[in-house]
Amino acid sequence: MSERNSDSFENGIFWELYQDLERQFQNFLEYVPYLEENKQVISPKLLNLILGISGYIDSAFKEMARYPKFSNNDDCRKILEKLRESEESIKKGEPPITIPIKLCLKAFEKEYKLSERKIIFKRSPEREDITPFKPYNLKTNAPKWWEIYNGLKHDVGVNIREANLHNTRDALAGAFLLNVIHIPSALRLFDRGILKVEYLTTTRVRQIMEPIKTNRDIVQGWLEQKQGYPGLVETPIFIYGLWLNKKE
């Protein structure tokens, strides 16, 4: 087996997987638009999608814990230790070890202030701010959509009504956020021209203040300051920008 020479954010795999999840959600919106009267719509497609998105986020947290610059993060080290224990358990024919969501959220709250980060949902005709990792369960600090994911895993019949359009959107917003704030992923998005920092933008209407001359090293410096960056990432559904997350 060849050794890993690049994590799955750095080599673009996680972004490609995210884009596929977003396309599935976007296809659903063509038939059921995101309107107030449709927020509670349920569907087998949404059920499968929210399970897939949440499983994706679970895998993303594990990959994020491997990032070398987080080697001094005690909680990331605990995640990696549990992953090693899980591998040993599987080799023995025993069940894998579950990594608590509380541990993952604690680890990346330190690095990225996950519970505070906002994105914009491009809801027609207006825009809507979302804080995907806003705590809902006070014991675990998990967001509501994660609690729904756990409920669906354990008893679909009882919890299927929670697999609705609104909760699926919020889970997808969480997946999008991880891709645009995690440093190796954001750098790849910059390299591909998806993270745009050509202009300094400070308002919701993107008022242009002055052009920015930048390069990868400068962008990496901004990212490592963990205060956001003067630019944006935009997909057909979501927008992430500095003006939403900067400290006044």
What does the pLDDT look like over 184-222, one tens digit per residue?
999 999 999 898 876 554 454 455 445 556 778 778 877
Indicate left, alpha or beta for 49 from its phi (over 0: left) and psi (-120 to 50: alpha): alpha
Is 245 exposed, middle or buried, given 0-12, 13-18 or 19+ CB atoms closer than 10 A? Answer: middle
Q: How confident is the model at residue 4 (pLDDT cuts 50, 70, 90)?
A: very low
Give how many domains the chain has, as a whole number: 1
Which has the closest alpha carbon to 143: 69, 50, 213?
A: 50
Residue 196 lies in a domain: no
Contact 235/15 with Cβ under 8 angstroms? Answer: no
User: How long a stretch of residues is the chain?
Assistant: 248
218 occurs within a structural domain: no
3-state secondary structure 165-234: HHHHHHHHHHHHHHHHHCHHHHHHHHHCCCEECCEEECCCCCCEEEECCCCHHHHHHHHHCCCCCCCEEE
Q: Does any domain span residue 43?
A: yes
- DSSP β-ladder status, 128-130 and 119-121: antiparallel
In a domain, 234, yes or no: no
Predicted confidence band of residue 164 (pLDDT cuts 50, 70, 90): very high
**Under DSSP, is residue 95 helix (H, G, I), strand (E, B) or coil?**
coil
CA 81 to chain centre: 23
82-96 pLDDT, tens digit each: 999 999 999 988 888
Token pair for residue 183?
């440093």
User: Is residue 156 over pLDDT 60?
Assistant: yes
**Residue numbers of the domain that contains 118:** 13-183
In this prediction, residue 28 carries a pLDDT of 97
| Nearest-5° Cα angle at 109, 96 to 138 | 75
Asked whether residue 217 is assigned to any structural domain, the reply reads no
Q: Is 60 exceeded by the pLDDT of residue 125?
A: yes
* Stated pTM of the model: 0.89
% of the chain residues with pLDDT over 70:
86
Helix (H, G, I), strand (E, B) or coil at 215: coil
Q: Is residue 238 part of a domain?
A: no
Is residue 216, in this structure, part of any structural domain at all? no
In a domain? residue 99: yes
Q: Which of 80, 47, 78 is nearest to 63 (CA)?
A: 80
Is the Cα dihedral 115, 153, 41, 157 positive or negative?
Answer: negative
